[in-house]
Amino acid sequence: MATLAGMDATLTDIAADCAAAEKAARILATAPTEDKNRALDAIAAGLVEAVDSILAANEEDLADERAQGLSSALIDRLTLNRKRIESMAAGVREVASLEDPVGDVLEEKSLDSGLELKKVRVPLGVVAVVYEARPNVTIDCAVLTIKSGNAILLRGSSYAERTNTALADVVRAGLAEAGLPADSVVLSTGGGRDALAGLATQEGTIDLLIPRGGEGLKNALKAVATVPVLYAASGNCHVYVHADADLEMARSIAFNAKVSRPGVCNAAETLLVDSQVAAAFLPDALAELAAAGVELVGDERVRENAGDTEVKIAVSDDWDTEFLDLKLAVAVVDDLEAAIEHINRHGSGHSEAIVTENAQAADLFSGSVDAAAVYVNASTRYTDGFEFGMGAEIGVSTQKLHARGPIGLRELMTTKYVVRGDGQVRG
């Protein structure tokens, strides 16, 4: 535990970082679109130019003892390469090409008093994002807040501290090149959980805190936060193979949803199979998943239909766990209603998929499952700001107020009423 003096120093640093971001936010809120886009263009170019130094910093993070205990999936999330950095730059350019939401007129009318009323979009102010070992989040969050006129305080995982610093340096240089305050993006490091608690209690400067991580991070913040929090938390996602599914399509979707990137929040963690097609579907599907290195756990009906593939006995916690790894829980369900009930009881409200050729079943599933994104005959892996045409995302909100689903430009805005008159006073 930090000493009192060390804790005070950390909280002082957090408060100073927040104050710097708040000052920058006032300038950025009214910055012309052209200036913001110029900053984004400079950031995209800077990522390409600084690729060697970014990769060198990333290699140091990967070699650090703090990263040695991470799972292979988390190591994959932490690892950068030239292709991933080029993808980051492409995402920055995509955000630059999007319409600026600041000043969008949502409602406009003349009142009986003669006043002219407009409801317009305005930036939130200072957004803080706490995230785990995914350095691309540094860029995604920074460029979305710049374009939406918000300042941001970033607090990433200690595992990625060198990489995040290298990326933040590129962002701040791009802001300065465009004549915008570099403190529009502030990277906070050090201090551990004391600093996290300090950040979560910065009332008056932090307008919105977004934790992007698992249930542990979510619960840690719930215990201390006094600022508004929008949780972009766990993804306990399901794929349900309906009785009327195209089984070849179902195998492909289930495999992609689990295997393509198992360490991300839109990967499937549970496979549900209708009892009518379990015997036909499970042997080949489970064999394919096991051949890709997936550890399988399941209920007794799954084990009876697994053929030669090893399926361990699932325990109750498996249905509620976001594995973020090559592990999958599998269950046989009696029918569509049982699948919906299982998902609504165990899911985290992130992304859910049904594979079916039955339009009525698809509609019932889509309307009844409680999730931010519901897929019919497609992989859950598409829940992503870039895939949804948002350029990037800060995370995927699994709650219902303010924003739900990928958090993009418009989810970083609030509204303001601007009312013009010619001397009216109310009697």
Q: What is the pLDDT of residues 116-154, one digit of tens each?
A: 999 999 999 999 999 887 899 999 999 999 999 999 999
Residues of the chain with CATH 3.40.309.10: 237-382
* pTM confidence score: 0.84
**Residue whose C-alpha is closest to residue 172's, from 186, 161, 153:** 186
Residue 365 carries which side chain, given as an amino acid letter? F
Residues of the chain with CATH 3.40.605.10: 4-232+394-420
Which residues in 231-303 belong to E strands, given as ranges?
A: 237-241, 268-274, 295-298
Q: What is the pLDDT of residues 33-63, one digit of tens each?
A: 999 999 999 999 999 999 999 999 999 999 9
Q: Is the per-residue pLDDT at 416 higher than 90? A: yes
Q: What is the pLDDT of residues 296-340, one digit of tens each?
A: 999 999 999 999 999 999 999 999 999 999 999 999 999 999 999
Give percent of the chain above pLDDT 70. 97
For residue 142, the SS3 value is helix
Calculate Rg over the CA atoms of the chain: 24
Q: Provide CATH code, domain 237-382.
A: 3.40.309.10
Q: Report d(CA 257, CA 271) in Å as an integer.
A: 10
What distances in angstroms separate CA 238 from CA 287, 320, 350, one per listed residue? Answer: 19, 11, 9
Residue 150 · residue 125 · CB < 8 Å: yes
For residue 152, the SS3 value is strand
pLDDT at residue 214 in the model: 72
395: left (phi over 0), alpha (psi -120 to 50) or beta: left
- Class of domain 4-232+394-420 (CATH, top level): alpha beta
Ordered DSSP codes for 103-144: T-EEEEEE-TTS-EEEEEEEE-SEEEEEE-S-THHHHHHHHH
Q: Is the per-residue pLDDT at 86 higher than 70? A: yes
Please report which confidence band the pLDDT of residue 69 belongs to, taking 50, 70 and 90 as the band edges.
Answer: confident
Residue 367 carries which side chain, given as an amino acid letter? G
Residue 394 carries which side chain, given as an amino acid letter? I
Give percent of the chain above pLDDT 90. 80
